[in-house]
Amino acid sequence: MPAKLSVNLNAVAMLRNRRDLPWPSVTGLGRIALAAGAHGLTVHPRPDQRHVRFADLPEIRALIDDEFPQAEFNIEGYPSEDFLQLVERYQPEQVTLVPDDPAQATSDHGWDFAAQASFLGPVVKRLKKGGFRVSLFSDPDPAGIAAARDTGADRVELYTGPYGGCHSDSEKARKELEKLGKTADAARAAGLAVNAGHDLVVDNLPALVGRVPALAEVSIGHGLTADALQYGMARTVERFLRACGW
């Protein structure tokens, strides 16, 4: 089965937050994305609410429950106690843990699984006890996969930023793609499913899904939202689905 597409709504929320107005509607564009075939919605509710706001979470949860019950809600973030309580309140199907500092503009690195095992293990255990699927943000480095598995997580999400940054250098992109592929191979061998996200676009998705045919999910926000300004959200989702192999 091709990789499922989860639409990250943070860039939509960031545009909305430039004014004290309700548009563009985060849930409205989420609805269009799901109606066009997206398999889920992703948000990263940062503590300062500069992108998705905490008030958006119950609305997105209700949108999925009431209109698209086959879709999934993925909440990602740094596992502070406040974040964990948000997750427990709004019950996403998947929780993606990222090692972001609150001041970071966006996620830009994965966990050091070995060094942070004593921190991640109890967090993953708590989330798993709550019934959540847990994914951990991972650099494209096979060396960390065994420690990621030992946390008890279900998946890793490959950080594809370096790959996406090679949009004008095909040779460098090939090398970055192979790093991702080797990490995905190690994850699969360790019994972990593999997600991917960051700076993925229609042009670089086919090579990724070709190298990682067992890719479970891609979470895409910035590139997809940029395309939506040109093509509209529905057509953009269709384009990204085709790039994933649907």
- Six token digits for residue 212: 């990682």
Q: Is 44 a catalytic residue?
A: yes
User: H or E element: which one contains 168?
Assistant: none
Are 202 and 225 in contact by the 8 Å Cβ rule? The answer is no
Which residue from 173, 175, 180 is spatially nearest to 197, judged by alpha carbons?
180
| DSSP-derived 3-state class of residue 151 | coil
Q: Is 176 a catalytic residue?
A: no
Kindly name the residue from 76, 157, 176, 217 that is annotated as catalytic: 76
- Residue 38 Rama label (left phi>0; alpha psi -120 to 50; beta): beta
Q: Residue 230 — left, alpha, or beta (φ > 0 → left; ψ -120 to 50 → alpha)? A: alpha
Catalytic residue of the set 44, 51, 72, 176: 44
The interaxial angle of helices 222-231 and 233-244, nearest 10 deg, is 130
Contact 52, 43 (CB under 8 A): yes
C-alpha Rg value of the chain to the nearest Å: 17
CB 41 within 8 A of CB 6: yes
Active site (annotated) includes residue 39: no
Which is the catalytic residue, given 157, 176, 198, 217?
198
Which residues are the active-site residues? 44, 76, 198
